[in-house]
Structure 1
Amino acid sequence: MKSNLSKMPVYAPITPGEPMEAIGQRIQRFATARAEHPALISEQSVVNWEALLNQTNKVANHLREAGLQHGDAVAALSENSTNYVALYLGVLTAGGCMVPLSGMASAEALNLMLSDCGAQFLFVSQKNRDLLQSLRPGLKALANNRIVSLDENGEGIGQTLGDWLGNASSEAHPADVSPDDAFNIIYSSGTTGTPKGILHDYRFRQRQMERMSRYGLDGEAVNLVSTPLYSNTTLVSVLPTLFHGGTLVIMAKFDARRFLELAETHRVTHAMLVPVQYQRILSDTEFDRFDLSSFKLKLCTSAPLRPEVIADAMARWPGNLREVYGLTEGGISTSLDCAAHPSKWSSVGIPTEGAEVRVIDEDGQELPSGETGELVGRAISMMRGYVNQPEQTQEMLWESPGGQVFYRSGDMGRIDEDGFIHILDRRKDMIISGGFNIYAVDLEKALLDHPAVEDAAVIGIPSDQWGETPLGLVILKPGQKNSGPELLQWANERLGKSQRISAIELREELPRSTIGKILKRELRAPYWQPFKR
């Protein structure tokens, strides 16, 4: 695998002589420098840095004894746990490439991912035992003795992690790695064909870890982790905390009340959350009784945070709030300091250090400030490409007139007169009705302004007259009795003629990914299915 990955092009700017200390090498020092300092806190245990390093080294040493070669892929299918973190660090310490997989994916998609990355080992939690059974018939290249349970119970999976490690040495023998070596592969959530495997090298991750440490994600951080480790959203905050010897408080599954309890108990300083989590935490009826004074910074990513939610968080939740916008692929990187720019809460901020964002039209021509088009970006952290999919990688690229490579975001947006980036919609979610481009976010904002509306999504559905037309899907706040026609009239009175919503349907819930994104593809499917051949 290493030879194939090493041939993939480098799109990030290269700095000759750039210092690099791999995470697998760096964390060895914490065993002596802060041996008793808590590294991981879960519902079940507290693991100090000495214990974490011992387990990390055992994993690394036994992986190599069992045949792992430099650059080989190791996959995991698990919820967050202390064992999962130790495995992640162990794979990197051994010189392997970590491939975290989502338990929300289908067995068919997971088999494609495992084959695509050439995984040499698979570690599975008991929660995913049944999913593993669906996978096994397709795991022809992965022997049973290379499938290991991450939990104490190995029933239906194989050896437990403890039995598999046996008497493995805990001596430190971290692998030598280069900036070009594979760090991890993050798979997209595609539903057809082989999902895209996004390859991050050590250059990508080290630069990202150093940048995020400037937000306080360092050795003094107590970072509450409530999003899954297979998501890049999570890794953006988890890795720098580990890299600098801080503390992770780990939630296997998010719950708003439990989040508040853990934050108070462990004097949490940082958290990376997605918009729906902010909404659920702030709406908890007991929110204001919790002591959250230890918070220094809260981060938000995966989707823009509504200005009214930012206002609520800034008023009631101690510490600053910083919104982060970027792609798992890298390239685009912006940040909004909410305390410093209260008039810009409708934006996702300005490009971070070393990043550049531009706007292009459908023909790939650059647009001036203020005009709407697709956002493209270039930054210090950029993926090496999609594994085994060079054509898809090429489709992602846009070359500037000066010959620099930018990544296409698929997001429609604009840059205002002060250089702040505003996101309007995913390009594929944009509604084209009667020849007019309609951005769902504008319609959703109108609906969300209604005091009875808890949540809303707008999608394009087929229309004989207009080609497609906007449909509003609305969740009402508890106790509200407003009808669809009432909401429709209210919203359309506040929208332009070309933006009018055709109808509103009331829903009990909206489908979301595990990191809180509304799955518009699922919402659209029933309306467009009759038109598919």
Structure 2
Amino acid sequence: MIPTNPPTPENPPRETVVARIRANAAAHPEAPALVCGDTRLTWGAFDARINRVANALIGMGIRKGDNVAILSANSIPYAELFMGILRAGGCVTPLSSMAAPEALHKMLADCGARAIFVAEQYFGLVEGFVDDLDLHRVAIDFDREGMADYETLLAEADTTDPMVPLEMSDAFNLIYSSGTTGTPKGILHNHWMRAAQMDRVSPNGYDDNARTLISTPLYSNTTIVAFIPTLFGGSTVHLMPKFDARAYLEIVEREGITHTMLVPVQYKRIMDVPDFDSFDLSSMRVKFSTSAPLRADVKKDVLDRFPGKLIEYYGLTEGGGVSVLVADENPTKLHTVGQPAPGNDIRLIDTEGREVPQGEVGEIVGRGPTMMAGYFGRDDLTADYIWRDENDRVYFRSGDMGSFDEDGFLVLSDRKKDMIISGGLNIYANDLELILLDDADVVDAAVIGVPSDAWGETPLGLVVLRDGATRTGDEILEKANARLGKSHRLSAVELRETLPRSTIGKILKRDLRAPYWEKEKT
């Protein structure tokens, strides 16, 4: 594997996440660890079930470094499995419930998973091929011939801690970045990377009786970066199997939630709940946002009406450069994603790999203490992802375009692959989307490049109108283009009922583009 050699932080981690979880359970066994619906689990009970999971896996023949897959909605068994796999020395491989069966098949084959734990809700995604795989199959919450039963497996396992020795270089988790077509890329994180992320536990108050509400799926790094710090801090994780804006607010009020990680689409839905202001949200201390840029107007609304701090993280599942915007402390910088986090170095480069001058747009590359070990079994992909500076230090390419303002705050422009090249000119879809979203009748928007005989490709706007709006796409187009320079104008605007999004709120632009470019091939 190609060494990425992340920089050593000022206070390097000395304790694995596994060791701290073990210590927390011993320190306060009666404190609450997990809450999901009406089910509550103390730290002592959680620890015992982690041991049962670990011993059951070891009994199956799972050894250090083996990949163990999970396909489930958020649940207490999911949390038990996550920590139990680690305690057995295995590598947690959480699978996306948004992935197609073909992609899931490729992921399991790529990682050589030794076992898979599946919830009934998503069994249909693997039903067509799972019996043909050489791995242990466990049903989490249903009965099926040929699959072990989760609760029976745990009941037969020992509660003694197996005390598998772990090194910081050992594999922690494997997260697949492709859930649709093509060859899946497994992003491998080791124990060092996850332990290095724990430097944010105390500053963010995760170790101060925090009650963190998790409403994004546990297969996403977005979720994991709130889930693990809460447990590392000895606090309580509240799990939502499925996000609902009103139910979310009810849980915050009822449980006195102090911390949360949300993606931008969730913030918008929460703030749009008609009687949002009637909920008592005074317990909230810190709200985090990541996975996609949070619009400045939504940030302002959150600051005005939703108690607690608002912190936005910009970074990648692969790791590398991380930027942080403490929104409540920087009200004039809400259009940015903040400044590089301590110990992180972010540069901007052109297509030739040269750094661009201050103020100009370039591809974002970064390095920091939290960098992936590499793409699993794919040194070729890892090598393509790397940019090296004049001192041969490794930076990760983000594929995102951005610029630094005069105060060193990072302003995102677009994904490199989403940039539209029309008549030889670079058009950033994000710039056009902000114009469309500034229209009072538009509640959601995406701009994609579609084929053009005259220009190669041209920008097309896809918008969702607010309830009750009666304007046409042409009327939205006319207003938007009046604010755009001639070379950046939209070719058309189409109205949609909804825009396709992933479970963590990212607009699936590849899905939006596909029909237009497939027509071009026929």
TM superposition score normalised by structure 1: 0.95
Q: Matched residues in 2 for 1:511 and 1:261: separation?
A: 27
Partner of 2:215: 226
Q: Is the 8 A contact 1:212 1:237 kept in 2?
A: no
Q: How many residues are paired up?
A: 522
Q: Is the 8 A contact 1:322 1:338 kept in 2?
A: yes
Deviation at 1:219, TM superposition (A): 4.6
- Which amino acid counterpart does residue 504 of structure 1 have in structure 2? V
Find the residue that maps to 2:33 and give its secondary structure: strand
Deviation at 1:385, TM superposition (A): 0.7
Q: Is the 8 A contact 2:215 2:240 kept in 1?
A: yes
| 1:320 counterpart = 2:309 | yes
Partner of 1:246: 235
| 1:64 counterpart = 2:58 | yes
2:138 pairs with one of 137, 148, 152: 148
**Residue-by-residue CA offset, 1:82-116 (whole Å, 9 max, x unaligned):** 01101110011111110000111111111111111
With over 3 angstroms needed to count, the CA separation of the structure-2 counterparts of 1:308 and 1:461, relative to structure 1, is: same
Further displaced range: 291-300 or 8-17: 8-17
| 1:109 counterpart = 2:98 | no
With over 3 angstroms needed to count, the CA separation of the structure-2 counterparts of 1:156 and 1:503, relative to structure 1, is: farther
Deviation at 1:530, TM superposition (A): 2.3
With over 3 angstroms needed to count, the CA separation of the structure-2 counterparts of 1:236 and 1:16, relative to structure 1, is: closer
Q: Matched residues in 1 for 2:167 and 2:48: separation?
A: 24
- Which amino acid counterpart does residue 33 of structure 2 have in structure 1? A
Deviation at 1:189, TM superposition (A): 1.9
Deviation at 1:138, TM superposition (A): 4.3
Find the residue that maps to 2:433 and give its secondary structure: helix
Q: Is the 8 A contact 2:215 2:241 kept in 1?
A: yes
TM superposition score normalised by structure 2: 0.97
**Residue-by-residue CA offset, 1:224-245 (whole Å, 9 max, x unaligned):** 0000000000001100101111
Deviation at 1:390, TM superposition (A): 1.0
1:24 pairs with one of 18, 24, 31: 18
- Which amino acid counterpart does residue 22 of structure 1 have in structure 2? T
With over 3 angstroms needed to count, the CA separation of the structure-2 counterparts of 1:447 and 1:156, relative to structure 1, is: farther
Q: Is the 8 A contact 2:98 2:179 kept in 1?
A: no
2:273 pairs with one of 256, 277, 284: 284
With over 3 angstroms needed to count, the CA separation of the structure-2 counterparts of 1:19 and 1:442, relative to structure 1, is: closer
Q: How does 1:200-219 map to 2 (within 5 A)?
A: 200-219=189-208
Find the residue that maps to 1:339 and give its secondary structure: helix
**Residue-by-residue CA offset, 1:372-409 (whole Å, 9 max, x unaligned):** 01000011110011011111111100001122110000
With over 3 angstroms needed to count, the CA separation of the structure-2 counterparts of 1:91 and 1:203, relative to structure 1, is: same
| 1:294 counterpart = 2:283 | yes
**Residue-by-residue CA offset, 1:7-62 (whole Å, 9 max, x unaligned):** 55243124799442222222122233211111111113011101100000111122
Find the residue that maps to 1:408 and give its secondary structure: strand
Q: Matched residues in 1 for 2:268 and 2:13: separation?
A: 41
Structure 1 residue runs of 5 or longer lacking an equivalent are: 1-6
Find the residue that maps to 1:58 and give its secondary structure: helix
Q: Matched residues in 2 for 1:157 and 1:287: separation?
A: 48
Q: Is the 8 A contact 1:219 1:247 kept in 2?
A: no
| 1:120 counterpart = 2:110 | no
Find the residue that maps to 1:127 and give its secondary structure: helix
Q: Matched residues in 2 for 1:8 and 1:62: separation?
A: 33
Q: Is the 8 A contact 2:70 2:95 kept in 1?
A: yes
Q: Is the 8 A contact 1:149 1:157 kept in 2?
A: no
Q: Matched residues in 1 for 2:122 and 2:147: separation?
A: 13
Q: Matched residues in 2 for 1:157 and 1:284: separation?
A: 45
Partner of 1:50: 44
| 1:96 counterpart = 2:90 | yes
Q: How does 1:284-433 map to 2 (within 5 A)?
A: 284-433=273-422
**Residue-by-residue CA offset, 1:445-480 (whole Å, 9 max, x unaligned):** 111111111111100101111111110001000111
Q: Is the 8 A contact 2:311 2:327 kept in 1?
A: yes
Structure 2 residue runs of 5 or longer lacking an equivalent are: none
Q: Work out the percentage of aligned pairs sharing the same amino acid.
A: 51
Q: Is the 8 A contact 2:262 2:287 kept in 1?
A: yes
- Which amino acid counterpart does residue 352 of structure 1 have in structure 2? A
Deviation at 1:511, TM superposition (A): 0.4
Q: Matched residues in 2 for 1:370 and 1:422: separation?
A: 10
| 1:40 counterpart = 2:40 | no
Find the residue that maps to 1:90 and give its secondary structure: helix
RMSD: 1.5
Q: Is the 8 A contact 1:225 1:234 kept in 2?
A: yes
Find the residue that maps to 2:515 and give its secondary structure: helix
Partner of 2:163: 174
Partner of 1:86: 80
With over 3 angstroms needed to count, the CA separation of the structure-2 counterparts of 1:17 and 1:410, relative to structure 1, is: closer
Find the residue that maps to 1:470 and give its secondary structure: strand
Q: Matched residues in 2 for 1:457 and 1:138: separation?
A: 41
1:134 pairs with one of 106, 128, 145: 128
Q: Matched residues in 1 for 2:13 and 2:212: separation?
A: 26
1:490 pairs with one of 479, 483, 487: 479
